[in-house]
Structure 1
């Protein structure tokens, strides 16, 4: 029996998947603790080249006023990794990718900085 190959479903702009929602809840806790001043889901769109854009999952302002772009991933596709690397070269923000750790492994988030 052949296994079905399913295309990745894309959510509409502004809609969060469950990992992005969980990270938003985590950011809200950090905001209440005073670590961050502000955050917005899909708040900015960065131009990488003609007709090529990158929209970070979250734009985050730390309590010191510096801005970061956070990308929440369950897994990476090659084009997404390339886009975040290009954006990190072009823009003066700190770019961070976050992957949810399994609950059996203690939960939390693993960070990768670009």
Structure 2
């Protein structure tokens, strides 16, 4: 039997890791139930940054007012990921937001960083 190998910490496209699943459960689903957002999709948009260079964010989100946001969920940053979200934020007319789980000792929840 042949096994597929992925880079450390990476899952196949279309599968959420535990941090992404938690973000969906704790943030996106409640926001949709309360009417703050009207739609979201996991890995729903792929941005072209340059020849043979693409960025697929974790979540595309439509707010109740019709504005679109891109949410990138990170356990930790790798250099290429930070560069890609900065380039995408510079080229595309969406709000790009990165979120990381806040430490329990700091009160838990999610830390947000917006890229412009």
After TM superposition, the score normalised by the length of structure 2 is 0.89
Aligned-partner SS, 1:20: helix
User: Alpha-carbon deviation of 1:8?
Assistant: 1.5
Distance 1:80 1:105 in 2: 25
**2:45 aligns to what?**
44
1: distance between equivalents of 2:54 and 2:107?
35
Deviations, residues 45-92 of structure 1 (Å, cap 9, x unaligned): 000011100001000000000000000001100000000000001100
- SS of the aligned residue for 1:70 comes to strand
Task: List structure 1 segments (4+ residues) > 4 angstroms apart after TM superposition.
Answer: none
Could you tell me which residue of structure 1 aligns to residue 13 of structure 2?
Answer: 13
C-alpha displacement at 1:106, in angstroms?
1.9
Tell me, in whole angstroms, the C-alpha distance in 2 between the residues paired with 1:109 and 1:9.
Answer: 20
- 1:81 paired with 2:93, answer no
**Alpha-carbon distance between aligned partners in 1 of 2:92 and 2:83, rounded to the nearest angstrom:** 14
SS of 1:8 mapped into structure 2:
coil
Structure 2 residue runs without a partner (length 5+) = 1-6
Deviation at residue 10 of structure 1 after TM alignment: 1.4
**Counterparts of residues 21-100 of structure 1 (less than 5 Å):** 21-25=21-25, 26-100=27-101
Number of residue pairs aligned between Structure 1 and Structure 2: 108
Which runs of 5 or more residues in structure 1 are unaligned? 1-6
